[in-house]
Structure 1
Amino acid sequence: MPLRLRRTLARCLALAAAVATLAGPVAPAFALSRIKDLAAVEGVRQNQLVGYGLVVGLNGTGDTLNNTPFTRQSLQAMLERLGVNTHGANLRTANVAAVMVTANLPAFSTQGTRVDVTVSALGDAKSLQGGTLLVTPLLGADGEVYAVAQGSVAISGFQAEGEASKVTRGVPTVGRIANGALIEREIDFQLAKLKTLRLALRNPDLTTARRIAAAINDFLGADTAEPTDPSTVAIQIPARYQGNMIRLLTEVEQLRVDPDQSARVVIDERSGIIVMGKDVRVSTVAVAQGNLTVTITETPQVSQPAPFSNGVTTVVPRTGVKVDTQDGNKLAIVREGVTLKELVDGLNALGIGPRDLIAILQAIKASGALQAEIEVM
């Protein structure tokens, strides 16, 4: 090969390599999801906390003590613990409200860290605006105290009323305290000492679990991951990761997998919402839809008596009933194996609304032509 031709070929190869470097890796034709977004590590979870307390400092919008005896008893018990004797006293304050305090204890939380709490009125208080939550122990499911909450309550709603009208925005009886709880007890969970790691799928599926295990095995170079059921993938910790679980998790959770899902149609009849997955298929079926509308109108008329008679003016009812049947919609055939887009386009071509579409989908499912699961919310 001539020297000049070899130099030209070398420059072309170098240019192609530079372009490939700038362009980076070619993206796959379909979107892949990280294992981090598909599954969670078993045992790494939040814990719910709950407590009962008092909110004070309300501007006359607290509980009515005569109607909420638990608020009266709590107020008396608190004052007696502080050295104030209220035995036999008639308490009439309207600046106190009994509340339930809830919070989530994050995983691996340490003593001294803070979490947000939600405060909800328990009695007949009208608003918690301007109130202060007194020291409230927060208990776990085992009855132990894991945090203590206290602070000023911030609400997003308000209520204003006068003699004849009232305006309410949002929910003034529910508030939140940012960083309002101080963690006092830790939950003992030693992640680094686990011999077997279990991943819990957020959407259980056999195919997805198998694909996750295969991706982990390809990365680790050994058959260490195996799906035990549709929602769990068990991983035997390799020797090079013993005592360094964080390194293993950070590498595994970044692996990308194509998740699978079953064909499903989710229906919310109350709001008319319909959600269909991409794998929904329909066998050949004929669909017709017609509407029956009945309109009833009331046009009462006043009947006057004759002049100089002893008659009485009365209101005579007049009712009009109109029946309208829309028979213009023809029978439509939905072909076998149509895609989701073709199915939606075909049903929309019938000129029907979401609520009629719900009835049609349920009828297609009853006929055995809809190859999907219908879930009604």
Structure 2
Amino acid sequence: MRNFLIFLTLIWCSAAAAVPVRIKDIADFDGVRGNDLVGYGLVVGLDGTGDGLRNAPFTEEMLAGLLERLGTNVTDDAMRSKNVAAVIVTATLPPFARSGSRIDVSVSTIGDAESLLGGTLVMTPLKAADGNIYAVAQGSIIAGGVSVTGEASRVVEGVPTGGTIPVGARVEREVEFDFAEVQNIRIALRNADFTTATRIEDAINRDFSKRLAITQDSGTVIVEFQNLGEVNPARVVGRIENLMVEPEDRAKVVIDHKAGTIVMGERVRISRVAVSQGNLTLTVSEAPLVSQPNPFSDGETVTVPRTFAEVREEPGIGFAEVVDNASLSQLVEGLNALGVRPRDMIDILKSIHAAGALHADLIVQ
């Protein structure tokens, strides 16, 4: 097959200006954060889809302990129920949550239960990393799927072994944090960048007409409240978090090889490079010959191997030349015009990055 040369000329265009966003959308305030909670409990009321008590001894022990606390003594031989499942309960305690407020919880099985559909979580204490109980969960579970089992087959839709309980936990203990006594607060950027940090500092100082903010590093800006005199820190933070800044970020290309997805940033640039791509298909098949002797003779059957091999090269894109300082979106647009398939495009981008011509962080998932 004769190779052919294709020149793809891409015209460089300037990147679009960054869109201003609120500080609260790109950064977190020190101390204003949630706390993870976890608990271990029982789900009852299942329609025969719970744990096998002999296969999950922890479920049996917990069920016996629960019944004993309720005043019922049941021997191990009497417990054969398939309507109970042991679960792990997780939740996030929001910042400044007060006693009596309610939060959502997630429930997941840890035994061999088939489904939590129709189950009810029995009162389960939720603990934080310090070992203290901060909330108690209980309520009906909304399962995330359906499971149907027959004599010879089983059909599962979604994940029936996990579910949620909206507002299923009540906060019993508050996290001690007196925000009114704070003298300074740190603003932590979710994507550390020196340019973005300095822009946040300039926006705060310009809005208050005082030097309140100081950039500590690429991910932290410190705001001092002392220069404002007697103020309410909550009001100051509420004013700061709504200031608009233009964030900067590193050029990135994210590739999901399994799904064939490419996500790119507008700041990605490519140096001058030539690209060639083609598909080579190798086919090998076996068709042995069998030689048999005549009837009633003393001969023996002989098998003669026979192999067919074929190499077929499918048309590719030939060579595509990318001019200097071209954007990735221009390259992808040009390759699309040449009929390059998405998965082939992923291989091309990886090869361009390996050649040092793709100026961006390449993240392959």
TM-score, normalising length: structure 1: 0.84
Q: Is the 8 A contact 1:118 1:174 kept in 2?
A: yes
The residue number in structure 1 matching 2:192 is 204
Cα gap change, 1:253 to 1:164, in 2 (>3 Å): same
Q: In 2 relative to 1, CA 88–63 (structure 1 residues): closer, same or farther, beyond 3 Å?
A: closer
Contact 1:287 1:331 in 2 (8 A): yes
- 1:332 aligned residue: 320
- Which has the higher relative contact order, 1 or 2, with Cα contacts under 8 A spaced 6 or more apart? 2
Q: Is the counterpart of residue 273 in structure 1 residue 288 in structure 2?
A: no
| Separation (CA, whole Å) in 2 of partners of 1:342 and 1:352 | 14
* Structure 1: runs of 5 or more not aligned: 1-27
Task: Within 5 Å, give how 1:214-363 maps onto structure 2.
Answer: 214-240=202-228, 242-296=230-284, 321-326=309-314, 328-363=316-351
Q: Report how far residue 296 of structure 1 moved.
A: 4.9
CA contact (8 A) 2:279 2:316 kept: no
Compared CA separation, residues 189 and 148, structure 1 to 2 (3 A): same
- Of 10, 25, 29, which aligns to 1:37? 25
- Report what 1:84 is aligned to: 72
- Kindly provide the amino acid, as one letter, of the partner of residue 362 in structure 2: I
Report the Cα offset of residue 295 of structure 1. Answer: 3.8
Unpaired segments ≥5 residues, structure 2? 1-15
Deviation of 1:50 (Å): 0.6
TM-superposed deviation, 1:88? 5.3
Distance 2:192 2:288 in 1: 62
Give the CA RMSD over aligned residues.
2.9
**Correspondent of 2:364 among 348, 354, 376:** 376
Q: What residue number does 1:25 align with?
A: none
Change (3 A) 1:138 1:282: same
Question: Are the equivalent residues in 1 in contact too, given 2:144–2:161 (CA < 8 A)?
Answer: no
Q: Secondary structure, in 3 states, of the residue corresponding to 1:289? A: strand
TM-score (norm 2): 0.87
- Give the CA deviation at 1:310: 12
Contact preservation (8 Å) 1:205, 1:230: yes
Paired residues in the alignment total: 350
- 1:106 maps onto 2:98 in alignment: no
User: Radius of gyration: which is bigger?
Assistant: 1
How many angstroms does 1:239 deviate by? 4.1
1:342, distance to aligned residue in structure 2 (A): 2.0
Kindly provide the CA deviation profile for residues 21-44 of structure 1, in whole angstroms up to 9, marking residues without a partner as x. Answer: xxxxxxx97521111211111111
Identical columns (%): 52
Q: What is the match of residue 24 of structure 1?
A: none
Other-structure match for 2:81: 93
CA distance in 2, matches of 1:270, 1:344: 19
- In structure 1, the residue matched to 2:52 is 64
The corresponding residue for 1:120 is: 108
Q: Select the structure that is richer in helix.
A: 1
Shift of 1:237: 1.1
Change (3 A) 1:86 1:226: same
TM-superposed CA distance for 1:122, in Å, is 1.1
TM-superposed CA distance for 1:138, in Å, is 0.4
SS of residue matched to 1:322: strand
The structure richer in strand per residue is 2
Conserved 8 A contact 1:115-1:180: yes
